């Protein structure tokens, strides 16, 4: 499998990255003991399209998603999920406005004054 080290992801060319993605798909296809024909059929793509994808010659985001789905690897896309992050300043402001004590919710009824 074509491997790009952590340091080389930024320096790698687009072509090298595409080949790495193709190798990733091929690696997982073989781990699951699937032929190109089987995976292509499960993905809803042509076998030739899969062959080109694995070589890094034909890339499509839609094909990539179809392949991930067929290989049960869609969870890999979680990294693209947008997560709400709170800055330390916002967190500090929220802590300041947070209640420190609870208030009584029952109203006190004043005692009647005795007239004696």
Whether 103 is in a domain gets the answer no
Evaluate if residue 1 carries a pLDDT over 60.
no
- Whether pTM > 0.85 for this model: the answer is no
Whether 97 is in a domain gets the answer no
Measured CA distances, 39 to 13, 63, 64 (Å): 28, 12, 12
Domains held by the chain: number:
1
Confidence of residue 115 (pLDDT cuts 50, 70, 90): low
Q: Enter the tokens of residue 3.
A: 């491997």
Whether 109 is in a domain gets the answer no
Confidence of residue 3 (pLDDT cuts 50, 70, 90): low
Whether 90 is in a domain gets the answer no
Whether 43 is in a domain gets the answer yes
Letter string b/e over residues 66-100, b meaning 16 or more CB atoms within 10 A of that residue's CB: bbbebbeeeeeeeeeeeeeeeeeeeeeeeeeeeee
Whether 34 is in a domain gets the answer yes
Domain limits at 25?
A: 8-78
CA angle 82, 58, 26 (to 5 degrees): 75
Confidence of residue 35 (pLDDT cuts 50, 70, 90): very high
Whether 59 is in a domain gets the answer yes
User: For the domain that residue 45 is a member of, what is the CATH number?
Assistant: 1.10.260.40
């Amino acid at each position: 499998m074509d491997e790009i080290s952590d340091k080389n992801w930024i320096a790698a060319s687009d072509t090298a990255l595409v080949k790495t993605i193709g190798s990733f798909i091929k690696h997982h296809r073989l781990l699951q003991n699937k032929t190109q024909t089987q995976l292509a059929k499960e993905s809803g793509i042509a076998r030739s399209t899969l062959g080109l994808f694995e070589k890094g010659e034909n890339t499509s985001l839609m094909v990539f998603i179809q392949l991930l789905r067929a290989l049960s690897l869609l969870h890999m896309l979680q990294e693209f999920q947008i997560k709400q992050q709170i800055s330390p300043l916002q967190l500090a402001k929220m802590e300041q406005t947070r209640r420190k004590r609870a208030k009584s919710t029952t109203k006190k009824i004043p005692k009647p004054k005795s007239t004696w």
